[in-house]
Each structure stands twice: as C-alpha cells, then as structure tokens.
Structure 1
C-alpha cells in the first residue's frame, strides 16, 4: 500500500480549491440570475457564461486540490488529452443542466433533470480526471464511497440550480456559493478517500505531464478567466439599471428635439 497524502502542501491546496469552487459558483449563479431577466440571444449568452463559470470553477477546484495529492513511493503524471476531456465534460454537462433550467416551462422537472444531469456530469468529470492520473501503482475504489460522492454531486448540483432560480439578493448569492463550494469540495474529498493505491515500484518513466508542467499553468489560466469574467459581470449593468438609464435619457432627448424644432 502507498501512503496517500491529500494535502502535500498543507492547507494551501484545500483552501485555494475551495475558493475557486466558490468563485465559479458565485459567478454562475449571478449569470443565471441575469439570464432569467433577459430574453433571446442575451439570455443564451448569459446561460453559456454561467455554465462555463460553474464548469471551470468545479474543474479548477478538482485539479488545484489534485496539486496536493501525493503517493509515497511513486511519481504522479497526468494524461493531457484525458485531463482536457474532463474539462470539456464539466462544461458540457453543466451547460445542459443550466439550459434545462433556463428554458424549461416546468421548474420542478427542470430542477430534477438539470440537477441529475449536472451532478452526474460533475462526478464523471472527477473520475475522468482521476483516470488521467498515471502512477506506478494499482488503484482501486471503495464502491460505497464512490456512490456517496456521486450522491453528494447530484444533491449539490440540484441545490445550486434551485439557488439560481430562487435567489436574487447579492448576500444570498454569496451564501449559496459558499455552500456550493463546500458541497463540491466535500464531493471531491469523499471521492478521493474512496481511493486505495497499491504501489508497484518501477524505474520506468511515467507517460504524461507533471502537475507543475501542465495542471498548474492550466489552473492559473482558468482561475484568471474566472476572476476577469467576475469583474466584467459585476461591472456590467443589469436589465433594471439599463431600463432606468434609458428612461432617464428620454426626457433629455425629447427636450433636445423640442429645442431643435423651435423656430429661430
């Protein structure tokens, strides 16, 4: 048996990964709220932004946490195509879940379908990410803990989508995203505690890229995307603000028209 360390850098990776999950959830909820107040192409764009934010947040949380994953007696490498596929899966299934909620007439059914789809997607993203790990060892999973991690993912996703439909105030969105971040993190660590590793020492070089060569730069890039998009969303006016500004503009415009129409 190899000794598993889930926090090789101490509290840094668990805390940082939790922050990433919260930022992704907060941005996703905020964009979904904006989508529900919009129509047409604007609604679709807000929903795509929401899905990419939540998907990116979940994926970045997983792999930032994985930076702290170490096994005594073997190096760890990552299969690049599989890791990228896990990111695309995260985005695609969250997109399906968010669109189900954004466009459905029946809210309850949309929540159940969207929550189930997104939860299973998050779980498949996690286990695809785990399948991308290369090490000199046989990896086995405890089926009960795996099932528990999938259940947590589905409940967390359903709760997040419910929050997106029912929560409007910034304080409530913040609280919901903190809870979402905690749920995503607990899903990740439940899944990680399902892992058992039997090390088979070998002098052969492992295929794939090391965490610092590949995972770290990608996580930094996606993290930057999240923070920049958050800033953009925070600064762009809401539908209500735009309407207020347009109605404030109207009297000024009509006054200008009247002045121009007045004979000299």
Structure 2
C-alpha cells in the first residue's frame, strides 16, 4: 500500500480550496436571494448564475485540494474529458436542486428532495473527478468512509438549499457561505481519507495531463468568473420586493435594469 499525502503543501491547498468553496457559495446564495425576490417567470437568469457559481466553486475547491494530493513514488495525471465531465456534473446537479427549491412551494419535502438529489450529485462529481486521476496502481476506497462522505454531501447540500430560502441580508449570506464552505471541504477530505493506492510492481507511465498544466489554469479561470459574477451582483440594482412595496402604500413605479432581462 503506497503512502498518500493529502497535505503536501501544508495548509495552502485546504485554505485556497475553502476560499473557492466560500466564494462560489456566497455568489450563489446572493443570486438565489435575488431570484426569489422576483416573479417566477423572471428567476431563470439568476438561478442559472447561482447554479454555475456554486457548481464551479465546488469543482474548483475539489481540484485545488487535489493539487496537494500526492502518492509516494508515483506520478499523478488526469484524464481531461472525465475531469471536464465532473465539472458539468457539478453545475447540472446543483442547478437541479436550486431550480427545484426556486420554483416549488416551500416545504420540508421539497427541501429534502432537492437537498438529497444535489448532495448525491456533488458526491458523484467528487468520485467522477477521482476516477479521472490516473496513477500507476490500483485505487480503492474504504466503503464506510465513502458512505460518510456521501452523507456529509447530502446534509451540506440540504443545509445550503435551506439557507437559500431563509437567509436574507449581506452579513447573513456571508456567514452562510462560510458555513457552506466548511461543509464542502469536510466532505472532500472525508472522501480523500477513504482512498487507498496499491502501486504496480512494474512502473507504468499513465496517460493524461499533470494538474499543473490543465487543472490549475481552469481553476484560475473559474475564480476569475466567480469574481466577475460578484461584480455583476454588486452593480445590479436590488429589485423591490412585494413586501417593501406594500409597506408604504402606493409607490411610484421604479424601473430596474435587470441584467438578465425584464423590468
């Protein structure tokens, strides 16, 4: 059994991974809050941006953390199509959960269905991403730890969706994003403790690309996307909610410029 080190560079990778997860969660939460303040027919753009932000944040967190993952006396490379497929899975499954709670009547059943599906999808993204890892050996997993990581993913996803429905205000959203980041990183490192690698006796050079040549540039690009998305949120006017319009009686109509269409 080969020696595995998930913290090759100390706390650098976990902290950067946590930052990516928090950035994606914060942007996604703010987008979802904006969406829920709008009529259902006008929510699509904000919910799509929320899905992309959270899904990309989770994927970036995973592979930034994987940059610090090494196996003694072995070279690790990644299958490019499968790695990109894991990114697509992350965005799609998060999107399904967000659109579910964004358009279904609020309730425990709706929240549990959305959270369960999203959590299982996030776990699928993780293990699909792990299957993209190519090493000259056999990779296996501890079943109990795999089950624990899936359970953490489901609980974290359900909690995140609950926060999208109940969290209001910038400070509250920031706190929720920090909590969501902890949950996602905890899921990742729980899953990584399940990994076992048995190297082949005869060295075999695996096919694929090193993380530094492929994953790192993609991760940097996604972080730029999340930063630009945050700027979009800051520059886009907050729509007036029905409650706010009703509190002061009839109000003059104000035209809001919505970057995703509508008035």
| TM more than 0.5 | yes
* CA drift at 1:106: 4.0
1:60 aligns with 60
* CA drift at 1:146: 0.3
Equivalent-residue separation in structure 1 for 2:71 and 2:186 (angstroms) = 21
2:99 aligns with 99
2:188 aligns with 188
Deviation sequence 1:11-53 (CA, Å, 0-9, x none):
1110000000001111111111000011255301111111111
- The answer to whether the 8 A contact 1:101-1:107 is kept is no
Worse-matched range after superposition: 16-25 or 106-115 = 106-115
Q: 1:249 to 1:231 in 2, by over 3 A?
A: closer
1:200 aligns with 200
Alignment gaps of 5+ in structure 1: 251-264
2:141 aligns with 141
2:259 aligns with none
Equivalent-residue separation in structure 1 for 2:204 and 2:138 (angstroms) = 15
2:69 aligns with 69
- Across the two proteins, how many residue pairs are aligned to each other? 248
- The answer to whether the 8 A contact 2:40-2:103 is kept is no
Alignment gaps of 5+ in structure 2: 246-250, 256-263
**1:1-264 superposed matches below 5 A:** 1-240=1-240, 247=252
Instruction: Give the 3-state SS of the residue equivalent to 1:109 in structure 2.
Output: helix
Deviation sequence 1:52-98 (CA, Å, 0-9, x none):
11100000000000010000011000001110110001111101000
Equivalent-residue separation in structure 1 for 2:140 and 2:205 (angstroms) = 22
Instruction: Give the 3-state SS of the residue equivalent to 2:240 in structure 1.
Output: helix
Instruction: Give the 3-state SS of the residue equivalent to 2:197 in structure 1.
Output: strand
Equivalent-residue separation in structure 1 for 2:194 and 2:209 (angstroms) = 24
Instruction: Give the 3-state SS of the residue equivalent to 2:205 in structure 1.
Output: coil
Equivalent-residue separation in structure 1 for 2:13 and 2:57 (angstroms) = 14
Deviation sequence 1:127-156 (CA, Å, 0-9, x none):
000000000111110100000000000000
TM-score by length of 2: 0.90
* CA drift at 1:204: 3.2
Deviation sequence 1:218-245 (CA, Å, 0-9, x none):
101111101110111122111029x99x
- The answer to whether the 8 A contact 2:119-2:154 is kept is yes
* CA drift at 1:197: 1.0
Equivalent-residue separation in structure 2 for 1:248 and 1:31 (angstroms) = 23
TM-score by length of 1: 0.90
Equivalent-residue separation in structure 2 for 1:176 and 1:35 (angstroms) = 17
Larger Rg: 1
1:262 aligns with none
